Amino acid sequence: MTGTRSETRNGRSEDVLGAGAQGGAPDGADLLTAEDVVVRFHTKKGVVHAVEGVSLRLKAGEVLAVVGESGSGKTVFTRRAMGLISGGRGTEVSGTVTYDGTRISELSGKALSAFWGSEIALILQDPMTSLNPVKRIGAQLTETILLHERVTKKEALERAVELLRSVGLSEPERRVRQYPHELSGGMRQRVTIAIALSCNPRLLLADEPTTALDVTVQAQILDLLADLQARRRMAMLLVTHDLRVVRSRSDRIAVMYAGRIVETAPTPELFAEPKMPYTEALMNAVPPVAGPNHVRLQVIPGRPPDLINPPAGCKFSPRCPYAQDRCLTEEPPLRDAGSPDHQYRCWFPVGSPAWAEAKARNIERGTSAAGTPVTEEMVLT
Amino acid sequence: MTLTTPAGPALTPAGGASPAPKPGGRHRPALRRIRKRLVHLLIVLLAVTFLSFVVVDLLPGDAAVVVAGDNATPEQVQQVREDLQLDRPLLVRYVDWLGGVVTGDLGSSFRTGQPVAEALAQRIPVTFEITIVAQLLALLIAIPLAVYSAYRPGRLVDRASMTIGFGAAAMPTFVFGMVLIVLFAGGVSSILPATGYVGFFEDPLGNLRSIILPCLTLMIAEAAVYRQLLRSDMISTLQEDFILMARSKGLSARTILLRHALRPSSFSLITLSGVNIGRLLGGTVIVETLFAIPGLGQLIVQAVFNRDYMILQGALLFVAVAYVVINMLIDLLYLALDPRVRRDA
Does position A20 have pLDDT exceeding 50, yes or no? Answer: no
Position with higher pLDDT, A165 vs B63:
A165
Would you say residue A150 has pLDDT above 60?
yes
B202 close to A (CB below 8 A): no
Partners of A254 in the beta sheet?
Answer: A66, A264
Q: Calculate how close chain A gets to B228, using CA atoms only, in Å.
A: 22
Q: What is the pLDDT of residues A104-132, one digit of tens each?
A: 999 988 899 899 999 999 999 888 899 99
Record: contact A147-B12, CB cut-off 8 A? no
Cβ neighbours of residue B27 closer than 8 Å, sequence gap 6 or more: none
Mean pLDDT is lowest, of A24-38, B229-243, B262-276, B290-304, for A24-38
Q: Is the pLDDT of residue B4 over 70?
A: no
The residue among A197 and A12 whose pLDDT is bigger is: A197
Torsion of CA A7, A8, A13, A17, to 10 degrees: 170
pLDDT of residue A100: 92
Judge whether B15 is closer than 8 Å to chain A, CB to CB.
yes
Q: Are B92 and B106 in contact (CB under 8 A)?
A: no
Best probe of the B interface among A85, A134, A140, A190, by most B CBs < 10 A, is A134
Phi, psi of A64 (to 5 degrees): -110, 125
Contact B242 A132 (CB under 8 A): yes
Give the residue from B26, B248, B335 with the most A CB atoms within 10 Å of its CB, the best one to mutate: B248
In DSSP notation, A89-128 reads TTEEEEEEEEETTEEGGG--HHHHHTTBTTTEEEE-S-TT
Mean pLDDT of A46-57: 94
Mean pLDDT for the stretch of residues A261-274:
94
Measured between beta carbons, which residues in chain A are less than 8 angstroms from residue B245?
A: 122, 124, 130-132, 192, 195
Q: Which residue has the higher pLDDT, B39 or B27?
A: B39
From the candidate CATH numbers 1.10.3720.10, 1.10.357.10, 3.40.1390.10, 1.20.120.80, the one assigned to the domain spanning B117-343:
1.10.3720.10
Contact call for A110 and B252, based on CB within 8 A: yes
The answer, yes or no, to whether residue B243 has pLDDT greater than 80, is: yes
Asked if pLDDT for residue A5 goes beyond 60, the answer is: no
State the average pLDDT over residues A240-261. Answer: 91
For A192, the 3-state DSSP assignment is helix
Residue B225 has pLDDT above 70, yes or no: yes
- pLDDT (average), residues B9-20: 40
Q: Give yes or no for residue B51 having a pLDDT over 50.
A: yes
Cα angle B87, B93, B96; round to 5:
135
- Chain A residues close to B242, C-beta within 8 Å: 129-133
**Interatomic CA distance for residues B176 and B173, integer angstroms:** 5
Domain locations in chain B as residue ranges: 117-343
Q: Is A252 helix (H, G, I), strand (E, B) or coil?
A: strand
Beta-bridged to residue B108, according to DSSP, are: B115
Kindly write down the DSSP assignment for every residue of B164-185, as one continuous string.
HHHHHHHS-HHHHHHHHHHHHB
Could you tell me the pLDDT band of residue B307, with boundaries at 50, 70 and 90?
confident
Query: Nearest CB to A124: which of B241, B339, B340?
Result: B241
Domain ranges of chain A: 2-250, 268-289+298-379
Cα–Cα distance, A316 to A323 (Å, whole number)? 9
Least confident of A155-164, A201-210, B309-318: B309-318
Is residue A40 helix, strand or coil? strand
Instruction: Suggest the residue from B155, B245, B257 to mutate for an interface test with chain A (most A CBs closer than 10 A).
Output: B245
Contact status of B14 with chain A (Cβ, < 8 Å): yes
pLDDT at residue A291, as a whole number: 66
Scan residues 257-276 of B and list those with Cβ closer than 8 Å to A.
Answer: 259-260, 263-264
Task: State pLDDT tens for residues A70-109.
Answer: 889 999 999 999 999 988 888 999 999 999 999 999 998 8
The pLDDT confidence band at residue B299, using thresholds 50, 70 and 90, is very high
| Pair type for strands A335-337 and A339-344 | antiparallel
Q: How far apart are CA A175 and CA A179, in angstroms?
A: 8
Enter the DSSP assignment of B114. -
A366 or B147, which is more confident? B147
Instruction: Please state which CATH class domain A2-250 belongs to.
Output: alpha beta
Question: Which residues of chain B make contact with A144, given a CB cutoff of 8 A?
Answer: 249-251
pLDDT at A19 over 80: no
Cβ contacts of B343 on chain A, cutoff 8 Å:
181-182
**Mean pLDDT, rounded, of chain B:** 85
Q: Which residue has the higher pLDDT, A227 or B110?
A: A227
pTM, two decimals, is 0.83
Confidence band of A55 (pLDDT split at 50, 70, 90): very high
Is any Cβ of chain A less than 8 angstroms from the Cβ of B20? yes
pLDDT at A28 over 80: no
- In DSSP terms, which residues pair with A42 in a beta bridge? A47
Chain A residue at shortest CA distance from B265: A134
Chain B 217-246, residues with CB within 8 Å of chain A CB atoms: 240-242, 244-246
pLDDT of amino acid A289: 66
The closest alpha carbon to A335, from A283, A284, A275, belongs to A275
At A24, is the pLDDT very low, low, confident or very high (cuts 50, 70, 90)? low
Are the beta carbons of A195 and B260 separated by less than 8 Å?
no
DSSP letter, residue A182: G
Which percentage of chain B shows pLDDT scores above 70?
91
Report whether pLDDT(B197) > 70. Answer: yes
- Does residue A135 register a pLDDT over 80? yes
Please determine, for residue B24, whether its predicted confidence score (pLDDT) is greater than 50. no
Average pLDDT rounded to a whole number, residues B218-230: 94
Chain B residues whose beta carbon lies within 8 Å of the beta carbon of residue A143: 249, 251, 255, 259
Work out the minimum CA distance from A158 to partner chain B, whole angstroms.
19
Is the pLDDT at B16 greater than 90? The verdict is no
The mean pLDDT of A254-277, rounded to a whole number, is 94
Please list every residue in chain B whose beta carbon sits closer than 8 Å to the beta carbon of residue A135. 259-260
pLDDT value at B61 more than 80: no
How near does any CA of chain A get to the CA of B147, in Å? 18
With CB atoms and an 8 Å threshold, state whether A122 touches B248.
yes
Average pLDDT over residues B260-284: 91
pLDDT greater at residue A303 or residue A166: A166
Do residues A379 and A322 touch, judged by C-beta distance below 8 A? yes
Taking 80 as the threshold, does the pLDDT of residue A168 lie above it?
yes
Beta bridge partners, A35, equal A96
Q: Phi and psi at residue B261, in whole multiples of 5°?
A: -95, -30
**Among A8-12, A80-84, A235-239, A363-367, which stretch is predicted with the lowest mean pLDDT?**
A8-12
Chain A contact for B11, CB < 8 A?
A: no
Q: Do B250 and A115 touch (CB under 8 A)?
A: yes
Yes or no, beta carbons of B248 and A135 under 8 Å apart: no
Closest residue of chain B to A131, computed from CA coordinates? B242
Please report residues of B whose CB lies closer than 8 A to that of A179: 339-340
- pLDDT value of position B339: 86
Total length of chain B: 345
**For chain A, where are the alpha helices, taking DSSP H only?**
2-11, 74-82, 109-113, 137-148, 153-166, 172-175, 185-197, 215-232, 243-247, 267-272, 277-284, 325-329, 353-365
CA-based nearest residue in chain B for residue A132: B242
Return the SS3 of B134.
helix
Task: Using an 8 Å CB-CB cutoff, list chain A residues near B22.
Answer: none
Residue B54 clears pLDDT 50, i.e. is over it: yes
Mean pLDDT of A45-61: 93
Q: What value does the mean pLDDT of chain A take?
A: 87
- Do the Cβ atoms of A185 and B14 come within 8 Å? yes
**Smallest Cα distance from A250 to chain B, Å:** 23
**What's the maximum distance between 2 C-alpha atoms anywhere in chain B?**
85
Residues in chain A: 381
> In whole angstroms, what is the distance from residue B310 CA to residue B300 CA?
11
How far CA A85 is from CA of A80, A92, A240, A259, in Å, comes to 5, 10, 19, 15
Residues A195 and A176: beta-carbon distance below 8 Å: no
- A302: pLDDT strictly greater than 90: no
pLDDT at residue B335 above 90? no
pLDDT at B1 over 70: no
